[in-house]
Structures are given as structure tokens and as C-alpha cells.
Amino acid sequence: TQLLEQSPQFLSIQEGENLTVYCNSSSVFSSLQWYRQEPGEGPVLLVTVVTGGEVKKLKRLTFQFGDARKDSSLHITAAQPGDTGLYLCAGESNSGYALNFGKGTSLLVTP
């Protein structure tokens, strides 16, 4: 099983602060995905990173894939209350197209 370790598990910050969430593994992944999930909803894909060293930006969110394709990070600049949610990283599983998920980072941004 290709395990994904996510940190921190919980994060509570004030509006305007910056934060970084980490996703690490001892295994190499062909790609990693980041999802955001709000209560009562399923996860929604934010980004897929494929190339080692790749950096992708989505408005105030910056995603990076490690050079060795074993880790990834999500950086949020000037967090807003709307960023509140559960952030999950995921990589392909040994079952094929199914995903292995990290344990998630629960983010709370207060006004």
C-alpha cells in the first residue's frame, strides 16, 4: 500500500494569514491530486500534479510536486473564510484507478 502522510492534521488561522499543507510518502507516484471537501459534500478536485518539480497555481493556491515525485505541498496565500474545509492529497493505489488518500488537513479560517 502506498501511504500518504499529511500534515498538519488540523489548522486554525485568521483571515489574511498564509499556510502550507504537506503530503509525503516513501513511494513514488506518477501523479498526485489535491481535493477540497466541504461538510456534506464529496471531495472536489483542485489540481493534479504530474511532473517532478512542477508548480501549479490556482488563484491564491500554489501546488508543488517534489522532484522525486514522493511529496507535494499546498500553499495558500492570504487565506479567506471561504478556504475553510478538508484538504486531501491522493495518489493512485495498487488497485489501479482507485485513489489512496492522505488523512487530510482540516482548515478553519476565521474572520
Partner 1 sequence: SAVISQKPSRDICQRGTSLTIQCQVDSQVTMMFWYRQQPGQSLTLIATANQGSEATYESGFVIDKFPISRPNLTFSTLTVSNMSPEDSSIYLCSATTGEAFFGQGTRLTVV
Enumerate binding residues for partner 1 (CB under 8 A): 33, 39-45, 48, 86, 88, 90, 93, 95-104, 106
Q: Are 11 and 109 in contact (CB under 8 A)?
A: no
Between residues 25 and 33, which has the closer beta carbon with respect to partner 1?
A: 33
29 half-sphere exposure, CB direction, 13 A CA radius: 31
Shortest Å distance, C-beta 63 to partner 1? 15
Between residues 33 and 73, which has the closer beta carbon with respect to partner 1?
A: 33
**CA-CA distance, 50 to 30, in Å (whole number)?**
6
Shortest Å distance, C-beta 71 to partner 1? 17
Shortest Å distance, C-beta 3 to partner 1? 11
